[in-house]
Structures are given as C-alpha cells and as structure tokens.
Homo-oligomer: A and B are copies of this chain.
Amino acid sequence: MKKHGRPEIPRKTIYRLSIYLRCLQRLRQNGLETVSSEALARAAGVKPTQLRKDLTYFGQFGTRGLGYEVDQLAKMITDLLGTNHLQPVVLIGVGSLGTALLRYRGFEQEGFEIVGAFDAELRRHRDADLKVPLFPMERLAEIISKHRVKMAIVSVPAAAGQAVINELTALGIVGILNFAPVVPVVPDHVTVNNVNLAIELENLSYFIQE
C-alpha cells in the first residue's frame, strides 16, 4: 500500500469518504435533503468531529447551523474519488477466487466494468454464464491499451503474484487490487490495495480467544 498524488491527506480519510458516500446515498433514497455531521457520522460509525475534519481536507461544504446538503456532498465525494465516470478494469487469475469475483455484482454497481479476465490456463474455467470475456495472457497488452485500462484486480496464486504485478505495471496499470498472498513490490507511482481473506480470518481468530 502506497500513497502519493495528494500526500497530505490520510489514507483512512479517503477510505471513510467511501463510507460517507454510501450513507448519503441511503439518506437520499429516504428523501432526506440535508443532514448534520452528527447524524451522518452516526450512520457511518464515526465521531462527528472526525467527519468534519475529514471533509475540511477538501474544502467547506456545510452550512453552519444547518448541516450538509445530501446531494451536493454526495456529488463532491464522487468527483473527488473519481467514480463519476465508468472505470474499466482487468482481472488476472480466473481460479476459484477470481471466478467468484467475476460473478460478484458489487463492482459494476459502483461504476467499475471488468472489460476482460485473463489466465495463464484458460481451458477449465469456461463457465458459460460469465458475462466477462476471457482472454489468454498474451492478449493483455492489447485489451489494456484498447480500453485505456488503468486498474487491475489480481487473484492469482502466490507464486505468480509478483510476476503478474510486474507485467501489469509495465503495461501502464497504476492501481492494483491485490488478492494474491504476497507482499508486492511496485514503482512509486503505482498504488496497491492488498486484501488477504485468510489473514482477515486469522486476525479474528486472535480476538475471539478467551
């Protein structure tokens, strides 16, 4: 995990922005037009002061004595996160987890489109019901350039992890959601978010003892 670009803003703040956005969307569905930092913070599971501090990294969006306009704040967060337009993504590694991720509807709902899935060995995984086109690794460069892809999801085994990540960064990918259980090394301008499901469970295991 690395940060850059606007380095003075805590990464956790960016993460919480996404949570605020989800809450705002729900508030909007409920017909709310305005919300106080206290109410929004409670919905997001944080303290009101933290919400306000998070927002002030980017400017002033509220009205004192009143609160925030739901629509306006949601739009500003969307713009800020860069999710206001559809983002093309490639997925590498169509094994058990990769297939699972391809079936998962959650990504497209939030503005991401998996334009291609790649694997070193395609044969086995030709599930007819997958809507995402499958390609051999040889066509990775072509698809990335054709769709101007900047983000990738990596769900290959540990042994292949670093090599695949090297290939992706060489092809211009600058954001990687990495499920491979490795500690990836990438150039400075590339951001990696690591998700390791086994470690999350293992972590729980510690806390439930006794």
**In the complex, which residues of chain B have a beta carbon less than 8 angstroms from the beta carbon of A59?**
none
Give Cα A4 to B44, complex, Å.
Answer: 21
How many copies the complex holds: the figure is 2
| Interface residue tally for chain A (C-beta within 8 Å) | 62
Answer yes or no: A30 CB below 8 A from chain B CBs. Answer: no
Query: Is the beta-carbon distance between A198 and B19 smaller than 8 angstroms?
Result: no
Stretch from A66-74, A103-111, A116-124 that touches the partner = A103-111
Are A175 and B87 also in contact (CB < 8 A) when A18-B199, A193-B203 are? no
User: Footprint of B on A, CB under 8 Å?
Assistant: 3-5, 11, 14-15, 17-19, 22-23, 43-45, 80-83, 87, 89, 96-97, 99-101, 103-107, 109-112, 150-151, 153, 174-177, 181, 183, 185, 191, 193, 195-210
A-B contact pairs, 30 of them (CB 8 A): A3-B207, A5-B206, A5-B209, A14-B203, A18-B198, A18-B202, A18-B203, A19-B199, A23-B183, A45-B183, A81-B205, A82-B208, A87-B201, A96-B100, A96-B104, A97-B104, A99-B103, A100-B104, A104-B197, A106-B181, A107-B198, A107-B201, A111-B202, A112-B198, A151-B201, A151-B205, A175-B204, A175-B207, A175-B208, A177-B201
